[in-house]
């Protein structure tokens, strides 16, 4: 184009640059006409200066002109789509340096209008939370546009079971600035029993400063919804009910079976202390014990006459028995109720074994077992009584399980009750965090009686 006014001084060109508008991420160009008004051939070097220099170029960068001639060069602008390129008016200057007369350097200027663009980057973390009634999340926002943004948040849920709260409710961000808001999610009523309830919801972030109908320059006005879930866990997990039922059964068994037996044994012991010991017939006649005129050994007459069946435990009659009415080696009574618990943790991918050894001189008559898999582990459990395999169970098929026998399974002395667990995958207990290892519990109940000698 033609210069607006010739400059004074030898070799100085006439210059003029029109104003222009450019969109970040796009390109724009303008022209500059350089004229040699001197009387010699002159070479000119052209360079963009100022705030636009990082993303502006001149083509060509060097020209040579005869006196009285001119040439037009192109100035290309390509601002990046970045928060660093702020919206508004920016000065553009081109330094024209003559080679022969550098003192005549000229810097023509114009104004470049940079248009607005709005862009938000958002993230909702974590995407999944567990809790009884409430959960907390974080919404991170970054303003990647080139103008200030006022960000608002809108939660959405299919029903009306959840209530939402944002702190703060709005964020004001300069270009390139980041901030966070805290999101609280709460449900109205707890889940007492059963399975966890999953509540999906979304959160949308919008730039409230973006003008309506601004079109592509203001997009995205609203970011795509961010998806998340609130998993409401029951207050009382299913496995806890099974454990409470097992404990209640053991408590009832104690009051119905063990406690009466203990009270009966205590009463018998007290009766033995109070009851006077019978005097043998021989001693009543002044004879030493064992010298009476019994008719024969074990017939019940003679020295044991009148004392049969009344001997205290530990007293022996003339025939050498203990006066309990049983034959040699017969255990007194039907045995004492007993139980044993095997608590067995097992690392993932490994096998572990727990045992209970029947005491020497005893026989363990097993009538009940209770197996607890309270974490919901996955794997295999095998239960063995001595050399007899009782059962093999897949852990993922149960949380608590019990077995009962009318006829006791007898385990001899020094034999073992063995539980063997192969842990495939640890489960997730009521805390909501996956366990580091499997954990099973076996309780064995029955009667512990003496062996025959």
CATH number of the domain at 336-450, out of 3.50.50.60, 2.60.120.380, 3.40.50.720, 3.10.450.50? 2.60.120.380
pTM for this one? 0.48
CB 423, CB 380: distance < 8 Å: no
Cβ contacts of 242-251, under 8 Å, gap ≥ 24: 242/372, 242/399, 242/400, 243/372, 243/374, 243/400, 245/400, 246/370, 246/372, 246/400, 246/402, 246/443, 249/370, 249/402, 250/339, 250/370, 250/443, 250/445
Sheet of strand 56-59, all strands in order from the earlier edge strand to the far edge: 13-14, 28-36, 70-77, 56-59
User: What dotted CATH number matches 120-232?
Assistant: 2.60.40.2310
Would you state the CATH architecture of domain 13-114? Answer: Sandwich (2.60)
Q: Looking at the chain, how many residues does it have?
A: 453
Q: Which residues pair with 181 in a beta bridge?
A: 139
In the chain, where the domains are located: 13-114, 120-232, 336-450
The sign one gets for the Cα dihedral 444, 445, 450, 452 is: negative
The candidate with the shortest Cα–Cα distance to 25, out of 83, 67, 109, is 83
Fold match flag (13-114 vs 120-232): yes
DSSP state of 66: -
**In tens digits, what is the pLDDT along the chain, a chain of 453 residues?**
333 333 333 344 445 788 889 999 999 999 999 999 889 999 999 999 988 999 999 999 999 999 999 999 999 999 999 999 999 999 999 999 999 999 989 999 999 999 999 999 999 999 999 999 999 999 999 999 999 999 999 999 988 889 999 999 999 999 999 999 999 999 988 888 888 999 999 999 998 887 765 444 444 456 789 999 999 998 887 777 778 888 888 888 888 887 676 666 666 665 655 555 454 444 444 444 444 333 333 333 333 333 333 333 333 333 333 333 333 333 334 689 999 999 999 998 999 999 999 999 899 999 999 999 999 999 999 999 998 999 999 999 988 999 999 999 999 999 999 999 999 999 988 888 889 899 999 999 999 999 875
- Give the angle subtended at the CA of 356 by the CAs of 394 and 259, to the nearest 5°: 105
């Amino acid at each position: 184009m033609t210069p607006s006014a010739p400059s004074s001084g030898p070799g100085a060109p006439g210059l003029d640059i029109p104003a222009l508008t450019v969109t970040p991420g796009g390109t724009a160009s303008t022209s500059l006409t350089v004229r040699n008004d001197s009387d010699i051939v002159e070479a000119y070097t052209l360079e963009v200066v100022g705030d636009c220099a990082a993303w502006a170029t001149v083509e060509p960068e060097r020209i040579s002109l005869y006196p009285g001639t001119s040439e037009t060069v192109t100035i290309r602008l390509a601002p990046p789509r970045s928060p660093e390129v702020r919206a508004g008016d920016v000065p553009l200057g081109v330094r024209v340096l003559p080679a022969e007369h550098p003192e005549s350097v000229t810097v023509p200027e114009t104004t470049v209008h940079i248009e607005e663009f709005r862009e938000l980057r958002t993230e909702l973390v974590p995407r999944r939370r567990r809790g009884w009634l409430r959960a907390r999340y974080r919404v991170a926002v970054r303003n990647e546009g080139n103008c200030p943004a006022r960000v608002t948040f809108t939660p959405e849920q299919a029903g009306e079971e959840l209530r939402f709260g944002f702190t703060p409710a709005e964020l004001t961000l300069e270009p390139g600035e980041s901030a966070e808001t805290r999101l609280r999610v709460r449900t109205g009523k707890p889940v007492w029993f059963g399975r966890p309830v999953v509540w999906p919801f979304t959160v949308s972030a919008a730039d409230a400063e973006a003008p309506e109908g601004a079109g592509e320059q203001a997009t995205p006005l609203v970011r795509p919804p961010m998806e998340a879930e609130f998993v409401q866990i029951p207050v009382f997990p299913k496995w806890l009910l099974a454990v409470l039922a097992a404990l209640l059964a053991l408590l009832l068994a104690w009051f119905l079976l063990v406690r009466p037996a203990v009270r009966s044994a205590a009463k018998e012991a007290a009766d033995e202390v109070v009851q006077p010991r019978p005097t043998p017939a021989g001693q009543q006649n002044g004879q030493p014990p064992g010298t009476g005129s019994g008719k024969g050994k074990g017939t019940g007459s003679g020295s044991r006459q009148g004392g049969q069946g009344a001997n205290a435990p530990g007293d022996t009659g003339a025939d050498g028995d203990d006066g309990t009415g049983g034959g040699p080696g017969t255990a007194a009574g039907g045995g004492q109720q007993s139980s044993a618990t095997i608590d067995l943790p097992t690392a993932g991918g490994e096998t572990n074994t727990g045992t209970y050894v029947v005491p020497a001189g005893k026989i363990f008559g097993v009538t009940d077992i209770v197996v607890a898999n309270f974490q919901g582990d996955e794997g295999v459990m095998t239960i063995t009584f001595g050399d007899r395999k009782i059962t093999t169970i897949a852990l993922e098929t149960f949380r608590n399980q019990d077995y009962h026998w009318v006829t006791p399974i007898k385990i001899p002395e020094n034999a073992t009750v063995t539980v063997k667990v192969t842990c495939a995958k640890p489960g997730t207990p009521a805390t909501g965090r996956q366990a580091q290892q499997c954990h099973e519990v076996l309780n064995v109940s029955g009667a512990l009686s003496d062996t025959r000698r």
